[in-house]
Structure 1
Amino acid sequence: MVHPSDELYGADRVLVEAVSVLEEAGGGPSRGAEVRVLLPRDVTYPEQRLTNELRRRGVPVRTTDVPVLRRDYLHPRALPALLVRTARGFVELRRERPDVVYLSTSAALLVAPLARLLRAHVVVHVHETWSRQERVLLGPLLRLCHTVVAVSDAVASGLPLPGTRVTVVHNGFDVPRADDRRAAALRDRVGARPDDLVVLVASRWNAWKGHELLLEAWGRAGREDAHLVVLGAPPPSGQRVDVAALASALPDPGRVHVVGESTEVPAWVLAADVVAVPSTRPDPLPTIAIEAAALGRAVLAADSGGLPDIVEDGVTGSLVPTGDVDAWTDALRALDRSRAREQGTAAARRFRFLFTRDAFRERLADALDVGTPTGATTGG
C-alpha cells in the first residue's frame, strides 16, 4: 500500500480500515495477505500519527522514496527531483515484489506504471474531486489501474472512465462515543451558556476548506447567542489560511475560539450543536461530516462534492450554495438549537444505515476482488 501522508485525517483513517480489509478479504492474492505500507519521505510529519496507529495494529510501515504528486511539484524546477524519486520508488517497489499494489489516493498514481511493470494488480482509491486539468494529466495513469474505487458519486462522475469501471464505496467509521461530561466541560471552556448555540468547524486549514468564507459569514451574521469553535491546523504543504488572524479581525472575536489540533474531536463534536463544512470547492466525502452524523449532530454543509451523499437537506442538516457568503450568512442566522437537535437525531439514523465501519468494510471487500492473476492486463 502506498500512501502520501503520515497524519490521521480522513484518507489516512480510511487506509487503516483498508489494511484490515485486504488482510481479511477472500479471493485472489488478497487471501491471507501480508500488507506493508510505504510512506514518502519528501515531507516530514513529526508526530507520525498514521505510522504509530499502523504499528500499534502490527502493520509494517516504511518511510522511503516513493513518488507523490503534490501541487508544489507541478513546475519545471521540481520535475528532476520527482523523476529521481520515481526511479528510486521503482527500486523500492521491486524489492517488495507485490502481488497487489494499493494506491490510497490520486496523489500516489505515479506508482501505477511502476506497479504494472512489476506485473502487479493495481488498485487506486480516489478520495479527490478531479478538475479538468487533473482529468487530462492523471487520466492515462488512472487507466493503468485494474480496480478503481471512489469515495462518492461526485468523485466517480468526475473521473475520465466509464461508470462501469468505477465502484463507489462511501467511507465508514466506528466513531468513539465521547463522554457527556467532557463535552459539557468543553462548552464551559468556550463560555457557552446553556441556551447558546455552538458551531464547530474541524479540518485542515487549506485554502479551499472554506474557513475564510465561514468567518466572513460569521462576522456578518452577528449572533450574540452563538460560539464558533475552530479545530485543525495549516497543512504541511500547499495553500493555507491564517485562521487566527482572520478570527481576530472579526467584530466580535471573543465568540470565535481557535483551538487548533485536538485529540478530542468526538468530544468537541458532542459539545457542538451544529458542525459546519463550508468547503469552497467540491469536497469528496469529508470525514468530519460523517463523524458528526454518528454522534447525532446536524451538519451545515456546502452543496457540492460528496456532501449531498451525507447530508439530507432539511432532514439531517442543511445544504448551502457553495462559496456563497450571503447564503452562508443567512444560514448561520437561521440556525436554531432545537431544530438542530432534531436533525442530529435523524443524522444518527442515516449514519447507522450508510456509514458504519462494517458497511464500509463489506463494500470495500466486494470492490477489492483482486482475483485477477498476476500479470493480467484487464482494464489497463
Structure 2
Amino acid sequence: MKFLFVGTNPENTGGATHFVALAQALVEVGHSVDVVAYPGGLIAKELAHSEVRLYGATFRNAYDLRGYAKVMAAAKQSKPDWLVGNFGKEYWPLIVMGRLLGVPVALFRHRTPPMKRLSAYLIPRLAQRFFAVSNYARQAYLDRGVPAGLVRVLYNPVNLARCRPDARKRGATLQSLGIDDEAIVLGYSGRMHGGKGIFTLLEAATAAMAEEPRLHCLWVGDGPEAQDLRARVAAGPVATRHHFLGWTHDVSPYYSAMSMLAFPSIAPETFGRVSIEAQASGVPVLASNVGGVPETLRPDVTGVLLPPGDADAWRRAILKMCNASFQRPMAEAARLYVQEHFSTAVIADEFVKILADH
C-alpha cells in the first residue's frame, strides 16, 4: 500500500513523534511511504535517513495555496492509496485535496475537543477514517455527538530497537551524571509545568529520599515552570540527588538509567507516549490514574496507577518500587507488554486493517 503523510508542523510535539513512528512502522512492514514535511523540522530530520521520500512544504493555515500546490504535486508524483494527516491546520486541506484527487483521507487527532464546532461535526464525517489515540480521547468525540463508528482508536507505536534495556548504557549514563551504580533512579520526562504534576512528584520524591538514601531523581525536559522547580530543589534538603538534563531531542538513552518512570500528571492526558517508551526499555511506570494514561500500562503488572496530586500516595509507591522484589518482575513484564500492544509491527498491522475495513 502507498501512503502520503502530510505533516508540516515544525514543532517537537507528541503528534510529530507519532507521525514519525507510524511512518517508520509502515515502511518496516513493507509499505511505501512519502512524506510532506516542514523543511528542517523534527519530522524531516527524523526521516531524513530512512526509506521515506521527503517533500518540503509548509501550511500556514487552511487557506495557504502554496501548501496545497506542494501537496498536490507530491500526490501526483507518488500516487498514494491514502493521504494521512496528523495536525489540525491540515485537516480541511487534506479533505479538499482527497476529493480532488479521488484519494481517501485518514486523519489523527491527538487532542480531545474542542475543535471549532463546525469542524468537530464535519471532519470525522468527511474523512474516510478518523482516529483518536486512546479510548479516552475517542469518548470525548462521542460525547460531542460524533457517531461511534466514525472514531477509531490507534495507539502510538514504539520503536523497540530504539527503546530497549541496555545495562552498558545505564552504567555510562549514571557515570556521566555522577550517580553511583547502585543508585535507584526515579525518572521524569516531559514538559515542566504544574499540570504535569511536577511539584507533586518533587514533594513525594524528596520525602522518599529521606527514607531511601540510594534514591536519586532524574528530570528530563523543560517548560515554563522549570526554573521554579529547580529553585525549589535547590532550597530543599537533598538537592544533590536531583539531576536536571533540560530538554533533549532523544530521551531513549536515559530510560536505561531509570529504575522507574513517574508520569504524575494532574491534568488529563490524551495518551502518554513516555510511559510506553519507558516500559519498552524495561522500566516500570508510576502513573496518574487520569485521562488516557491508564491505557498505557497494565496496572500492578507493568506499573502502578496512583491518584493524581496525592503526594503521600506517590511517596509510598516510590518507596515500594525501590524494593527489587517488587520492581524487577514489573521491569521484566514491561517490555513484553509493549511488544504485544504497541510495537511498530502491531500498530502498523492494525492501521492497515482499519483502513481496509469497509
Give the structure-1-normalised TM-score: 0.76
Q: Which runs of 5+ in 2 are unaligned?
A: none
1:174 to 130, 136, 159: 159
- Structure 1 position 230 matched with structure 2 position 210: no
Task: Give yes or no for the alignment of 1:139 onto 2:124.
Answer: no
Q: How does 1:18-37 map to 2 (within 5 A)?
A: 18-20=22-24, 35-37=34-36
CA shift for structure 1 position 303: 0.9
Q: 1:143 Cα shift? A: 3.2
CA deviation after TM superposition for structure 1 residue 331, in Å: 2.9
Instruction: Give the letter aligned to residue 353 of structure 2.
Output: D
Q: For residues 290 and 207 of structure 1, do their structure 2 counterparts lie closer, same or farther at Cα, with a shift above 3 Å needed?
A: same
Q: Output one character per residue of 1:105-159: Cα deviation in whole Å (capped at 9) or x when no partner.
A: 446434355435635422112222x14x447464133433220122221121112
Q: Where does residue 12 of structure 1 map in the other structure? A: 16
1:89 maps to what in 2? 67
Unaligned stretches of 5+ residues in structure 1: 27-31, 68-81, 372-380
Residues in 1 aligned to 2:196 and 2:55: alpha-carbon distance in whole angstroms: 30
Indicate which of 327, 332, 335 corresponds to 1:348: 335
Tell me which of 146, 149, 152 is aligned to 2:134: 152
Q: Tell me if 1:164 matches 2:142.
A: no
Q: Against the structure 1 CA distance between its residues 59 and 206, is the aligned structure 2 distance closer, same or farther, given a 3 Å change threshold? A: farther
2:260/2:285 contact within 8 Å kept: yes
The percentage of counterpart residues that share the same residue type is 24
Q: Distance in 1 between matches of 2:50 and 2:176?
A: 34
Aligned match of 1:2:
6
| TM-fit CA distance, 1:340 | 1.5
Q: Deviations over 1:332-379 (max 9, x none)?
A: 3443231122211122231222122211111111123399xxxxxxxx
Q: Secondary structure at the match of 1:300?
A: strand
Aligned positions of 1:234-249 closer than 5 A: 234=223, 241-242=226-227, 243-249=229-235
**Stretch moving more, 141-150 or 299-308:** 141-150
CA shift at 1:273, angstroms?
0.8
Task: Tell me the residue number matched to 1:79.
Answer: none
* 8 A Cα contact 2:185 2:259, kept in partner: yes
Q: Structure 1 residues 246, 137: CA separation in 2 closer, same or farther (over 3 Å shift)?
A: farther
Q: Secondary structure at the match of 1:148?
A: strand
Separation in structure 2 between the aligned mates of residue 252 and residue 125 of structure 1, nearest angstrom: 43
Deviation at 1:178, TM superposition (A): 5.1
Report the Cα distance in structure 2 between the residues aligned to 1:344 and 1:11, rounded to whole angstroms. Answer: 27
1:281 paired residue number: 267
Shift of 1:167: 2.0
Deviation for aligned residue 1:58:
4.2
Distance 1:316 1:337 in 2: 15
What are the Cα deviations for residues 84-103 of structure 1, in whole angstroms up to 9, with x where unaligned?
Answer: x6454344444445664311
SS in 1 for 2:205: helix
CA contact (8 A) 1:152 1:168 kept: yes
Cα distance in 2 for residues equivalent to 1:358 and 1:183: 27
Q: Which amino acid aligns with 1:270?
A: S
The alpha carbon displacement at 1:25 in A equals: 8.6
| Per-residue CA distance 1:19-47 (angstroms, 9 max, x = gap) | 35666999xxxxx75623233x8xxx7xx
Measured in 1, the distance between the counterparts of 2:257 and 2:323 equals: 12
Moved more, 272-281 or 51-60: 51-60
In structure 1, the partner of 2:293 is: 307
Give the corresponding residue for 2:109.
Answer: 126
The amino acid of 1:54's aligned partner reads L
- Structure with more contact order per residue of length (Cα contacts < 8 Å, sep ≥ 6): 1
Is the alpha carbon distance of 1:97 and 1:191 closer, same or farther for their aligned partners in structure 2, counting shifts above 3 Å? closer
Match of 1:65 in 2: 58
Q: Distance in 2 between matches of 1:368 and 1:329?
A: 45
Rounded to whole Å, the distance in 2 between the matches of 1:341 and 1:306 is: 25
Structure 1 residue 301: deviation in Å? 0.7
Is it true that 1:369 corresponds to 2:356 in the alignment?
Answer: yes
Of residues 305, 311, 328, the one that matches 1:319 is 305
**1:280-302, CA deviations, whole angstroms, 9 ceiling, x for partnerless residues?**
22222322211221122110011
> 1:319 deviation in Å?
0.7
Normalised by the length of structure 2, the TM-score is: 0.80
Which whole-Å CA distance do the structure 2 matches of 1:138 and 1:92 have between them?
24
Q: 1:278 to 1:66 in 2, by over 3 A?
A: same
| 1:312 alignment partner AA | R
Aligned residue-pair number = 339
Cα displacement (A) at 1:264: 6.2
The answer for the alignment partner of 1:72 in structure 2 is none
**Alpha-carbon spacing, 1:136–1:212, altered in 2? closer, same or farther (3 Å):** farther
SS in 2 for 1:149: strand
C-alpha distance in 2 between matches for 1:246 and 1:262:
22
* Matched letter for residue 346 of structure 1: A
> Contact conserved, 1:38 with 1:66, CA < 8 A, in 2?
no
What SS class does the counterpart of residue 304 from structure 1 fall into?
coil
Distance in 2 between the 1:346 and 1:178 partners?
12
Give the letter aligned to residue 50 of structure 1.
I
Q: How does 1:260-275 map to 2 (within 5 A)?
A: 260-262=246-248, 265-275=251-261
SS at match of 1:109: helix
